[in-house]
Amino acid sequence: MKMDKELQKLKIPQVGEFVRPIGKLINIEVVQPPPPKPETNYIFEEIEARCELRLNDEVLKHLGTLNDFYGLETSVESAIKEMKEYVSSRNINKNSDLEVVVIRKAYQIRKRPIDRYNIFSKEYHDFEFIEHGATLNLPKPIETIAWSSKGDEGKPVETDPSENEEAK
Tens digit of each residue's pLDDT (9 = 90 or more) over 143-166: 999 999 998 776 777 655 444 444
> Of all residues in the chain, what percent carry a pLDDT higher than 90?
71
| pLDDT score at 5 | 72
Interatomic CA distance for residues 106 and 99, integer angstroms: 22
Q: Is 112 helix (H, G, I), strand (E, B) or coil?
A: strand
Residue 2 one-letter amino acid: K
Q: Is residue 166 part of a domain?
A: no
Q: Quote the pTM value.
A: 0.72
Q: Is residue 32 part of a domain?
A: no
Q: Is residue 89 part of a domain?
A: yes
Query: Is residue 117 a contact partner of residue 125, using CB atoms and an 8 Å limit?
Result: yes
Helix (H) or strand (E) holding 74, with range, is helix 74-89
Residue ranges making up the domain that contains 91: 42-160
Q: Is residue 10 part of a domain?
A: no
Residues of the chain with pLDDT under 70: 1-3, 154, 158-168
- Provide the number of structural domains found in the chain: 1
Q: Is residue 120 part of a domain?
A: yes
Q: Is residue 165 part of a domain?
A: no
Q: Is residue 19 part of a domain?
A: no
| pLDDT score at 165 | 44
Q: Is residue 68 part of a domain?
A: yes
| Pick from 43, 44, 77: nearest CA to 147 | 77
- Tell me the per-residue pLDDT of 1-20, one tens digit each, with 9 for 90 and over: 566 777 778 888 999 999 98
Interatomic CA distance for residues 77 and 146, integer angstroms: 9
